[in-house]
Structure 1
Amino acid sequence: MDDAPFSRFHKKIFLLTAGGQFLDGYLLSIIGVVVLGMSKELDLTASQEGLVGATALIGLFCGGLIFGRITDRIGRQLLFTIHFIVIAVASVASIFVGGPVELILLRLLIGVALGADYAIGSALLSEWLPKAQRGRVMGMLIMAWFVGATAAYLVGYALVDVLGDNAWRWALGSAAIPAVVFTLARIGTPESPRWLLSRGRHDEARQVLVRVYGDAATPEAIASLSSEEQRQGLGMMELFRSEYLKRTAFVGLFWMLQIVPLFAIYSFGPTILAAFHLSGGNASIIGSALISLLFFVGCLPALRLIETRGRRPLIVWSFALMVVPLVVLGLAPSAPAAVVLACFCGYAFFSGGPSILEFIYPTELFPTEVRATAVGIGTAISRIGAAAGTYLLPIGLEHIGVGPTMLIMAGVTLLGFIVSFTLAPETRGCRLATASATAPADDPALSTG
């Protein structure tokens, strides 16, 4: 599988997995578009408004933790489809809510399903991909998130323009359409042969490999894969012991430290730019749109650099470069509008490296038996960061001002640099079994030097 040619089958698996990220971006972003009409009709208090926005992130935390372990136990195939049905039903139910409690519970349920998809989808995709394309294709998943977020803004604003304050119900319900489409498309997705082999189900793995690869699935190739995926009896607690503890800490910390400022800036772009006095006319909205575009564009060179320069240099240098514009903004909050916008665009562009590595490192650094569990733990930790960033940023702007708030963000990003410089390994060009194994100290493949 590591040396197989990249085929239509791999493209299909990628698109099906990317559907989960599209929905994540869509569902987390659509709420911000319609919050005013929703708050008015349901008479939400400020705390209830915050809960509506935060409960999906809390659900992501729970879903990642719970379903990562479950999918390592029962397989990727079944859960790869079921949780999208939950999203579709909960989205339709959102059209008919009569109060804040119902809406909060539905958003929590949606968040749990999205958290499950992080663990299930990324594990399944990484286990199918050839090593030559694994980094680039896994990294492209974050771009689907940005596409989903953009679609949410377009759909939300179009509905608000037509329906006014009543648009929020249909905007929340609109997520059911892509959820149903991807549910139907995912039916029939084959189980991961790596997972089957790790559970000792060799005959089933052989059947799946022959079905997908045909004559290329020779007995020798299957035997080689079987030797790589021998059952080791690893459990969740293995992630908190010896070498895997260091990897778990690295994945959780870099993901969280990257997403704290990123999610806050992405979610509160207009508010932040207004604090820098970019609020004349549509200046803050246009500026936010430009920053959002740069978050997407920054992923493009990063996708090339992970294979030409490697994972470790990309994440270390990206964090270092992300610190600079935040420091400038913190020290010069009265800078000209062009400087402020250039700094935010620079931060967004440089964030492409860590953004794509969110989907690469967690799947490469852990063996098949605990891969989805590890992704789920990373997702859960990162969503703590996302919730903290979105909750604390408006408080910081109000109580300590925009300059100190930007310096705090720079400090968080600097911690991400320190963690990455200290712990980030290099897995470029490694077979999945090699990258996820606890390598001996003299193995350069997983060196952090």
Structure 2
Amino acid sequence: MNVMAKAEKKISSAFIYFFGSFGGILFGYDIGVMTGALPFLQADWHLENAASLVGWITSAVMFGAIFGGALAGQLSDKFGRRKMILMSAIVFMVFSVLSGVSPDMGEASAYYLIIVRMLLGLAVGAASALVPAYMSEMAPAKARGRLSGLNQTMIVSGMLLSYVVDFLLKDLPGEWAWRLMLGLAAVPALILFLGVLRLPESPRFLLRKGDEAQARKVLSYIRKNPAEIDQELASIKETAKEERQANQKTSWSTLFSGKYRYLVIAGVGVAAFQQFQGANAIFYYIPLIVQKATGQAASSNLMWPIVQGVILVVGSLVYMWIADKFNRRTLLMVGGAVMGLSFILPAVINWMMPNMNPMTIVVFLCIYVAFYSFTWAPLTWVLVGEIFPLAIRGRASGLASSFNWIGSWLVGLIFPIMTASMPQEAVFAIFGIICILGVLFVKTCVPETRGHTLEEIEEQGTNHGRVKDSNPEN
């Protein structure tokens, strides 16, 4: 036991935070990898005119994630965050390999891959739920904002990694290209598994299971001051007691009672708008978008996903720099307005000038991604984490996550169907209108949370008021 304790003592906080957030790499890799694999898969399986199947293959991961996040949240309360992250990594490895070795059986192959990717989605959804929970329970309060930014950076870095892998494999024979692109997702999953084997369990979970001695030991790895450890242990105990009492008094119907309705609608609405604004249409289908705009083969346009990935990573770093300098509502409204115009203007320009350069739409999509990357992408989850009162936080956060995944799934499913039946500019104009509606929603239905205590936010919800969009002191 003493040998084990000494081994655990060697774990640095940097190692814990790095591998604690590494699940975001898996999440991001699988969001991005189909972008490059899809053109080769379409050609290999002759799916160029099968918009519905293409939509289902692409969106199947998000469909599985709807259930994976909810399931992982419940199981992690029973078995622990660490064990469930390990399980997610195993599931991710297995079904990534099974995706890469999909049998070639005609149309039946597409249904096989859809089912496998749905099961893979269970792991993606679990990672999206477990990583932020683990990180928030391990990080000191003063670092939670920056570490939330680290999780977002890991996600977009995973997307960029998948785009680079797709680009490097694009000159292989078509069948080998898409199979390796999908199968190599097992590599970051293996790295995550090996890294998490050395991670300690969350002190919050250990205390809930009555193991205060081990919880204290874990906190000693990541907190330097013994007094700080004692204070945090006491705080965790008090919070756990309040949560138990809250869960005994609340039900799903409580979310939409007069007292909480305003805040629940605000948080769930922002989470839903983030996806229905169409960002994932770009991330999943950018080579096909460029192909439709220029006539060039999608498989020769795999540099564009890398451009999008670089913009996302830079944007996540910009967010970490500006996160505490501007109000949440201000960033969401400015970002949403520019995103909406980036979608609508190409349709207007094309209507006024039918001979518009076809690459104009791609330039505007880059502007969209840039503003999305440091506004709606990270701020949605910052706001969801702040806006729900303790009594309903668990259920309301789960509901917000479910609506977010439902939006992600629907956008991935219907985008190829929409572009097969109407001009591409018109499809993006529809998403642009949704972006503008999102701005109006934030302006009228979402309170400002930066600089306000949770009690102040809850009071605003109780009174159906709205926190003034002032610049509160930090």
TM-score where L is the length of structure 1:
0.83
Q: Secondary structure of the residue that 2:22 maps to in structure 1?
A: helix
Alpha-carbon distance in structure 2 between the residues aligned to 1:336 and 1:36: 23
1:230 aligns with 2:241: yes
Alpha-carbon distance in structure 2 between the residues aligned to 1:280 and 1:241: 53
- Higher alpha-carbon deviation: 409-418 or 421-430: 421-430
Match of 2:376 in 1: 354
Q: How many residues align?
A: 438
Alpha-carbon distance in structure 1 between the residues aligned to 2:209 and 2:265: 26
Q: Which digits, 9 at most, give the CA deviation of each residue in 1:10-47, with x for residues without a partner?
A: 54344224322211222233234233544565666824
Kept in 2, the 8 Å contact 1:198–1:232? The answer is no
1:121 aligns with 2:138: no
2:230 to 216, 219, 226: 219
Relative to structure 1, the CA distance from residue 317 to residue 180 in structure 2 (aligned partners, 3 Å threshold; closer, same or farther) is: same
Alpha-carbon distance in structure 2 between the residues aligned to 1:423 and 1:409: 20
Structure 2 matches for 1:153-164, cutoff 5 A? 153-164=163-174
Kept in 1, the 8 Å contact 2:89–2:123? The answer is yes
1:330 aligns with 2:347: yes
Match of 1:150 in 2: 160
Identity of aligned residues (%): 25
Alpha-carbon distance in structure 2 between the residues aligned to 1:438 and 1:154: 43
Kept in 2, the 8 Å contact 1:89–1:176? The answer is yes
Match of 1:170 in 2: 180
Kept in 2, the 8 Å contact 1:139–1:359? The answer is no
Give 1:442 shift: 10
Relative to structure 1, the CA distance from residue 268 to residue 78 in structure 2 (aligned partners, 3 Å threshold; closer, same or farther) is: same
Match of 1:307 in 2: 324
Specify the code of the residue in structure 2 equivalent to 1:407.
A
Q: Which digits, 9 at most, give the CA deviation of each residue in 1:105-142, with x for residues without a partner?
A: 22111101110111111112123323433223213323
Alpha-carbon distance in structure 2 between the residues aligned to 1:195 and 1:206: 12
Specify the code of the residue in structure 2 equivalent to 1:379.
S
Match of 1:4 in 2: none
Alpha-carbon distance in structure 1 between the residues aligned to 2:304 and 2:297: 11
1:56 aligns with 2:61: yes
1:435 aligns with 2:440: no
Match of 2:87 in 1: 82
Kept in 1, the 8 Å contact 2:287–2:298? The answer is no
- Higher alpha-carbon deviation: 244-253 or 378-387: 244-253
Relative to structure 1, the CA distance from residue 29 to residue 441 in structure 2 (aligned partners, 3 Å threshold; closer, same or farther) is: closer
Q: Which consecutive residues of structure 2, in runs of 5 or more, have no partner in the other structure?
A: 1-10, 470-474
Alpha-carbon distance in structure 1 between the residues aligned to 2:260 and 2:205: 19
Q: Secondary structure of the residue that 1:406 maps to in structure 2?
A: helix
2:272 to 233, 240, 256: 256
Specify the code of the residue in structure 1 equivalent to 2:58.
G
TM-score where L is the length of structure 2:
0.79
Alpha-carbon distance in structure 1 between the residues aligned to 2:440 and 2:25: 31
Alpha-carbon distance in structure 1 between the residues aligned to 2:390 and 2:180: 40
Measured on the aligned residues, the alpha-carbon RMSD in Å equals 3.5
Give 1:351 shift: 0.7
Structure 2 matches for 1:270-419, cutoff 5 A? 270-277=287-294, 279=296, 286-287=303-304, 289-333=306-350, 334=354, 335-336=356-357, 339-352=360-373, 353-366=375-388, 374-419=396-441
- Higher alpha-carbon deviation: 326-335 or 272-281: 272-281
Q: Secondary structure of the residue that 1:149 maps to in structure 2?
A: helix
Q: Which consecutive residues of structure 1, in runs of 5 or more, have no partner in the other structure?
A: 1-7
Alpha-carbon distance in structure 2 between the residues aligned to 1:218 and 1:394: 53
Alpha-carbon distance in structure 1 between the residues aligned to 2:314 and 2:24: 17
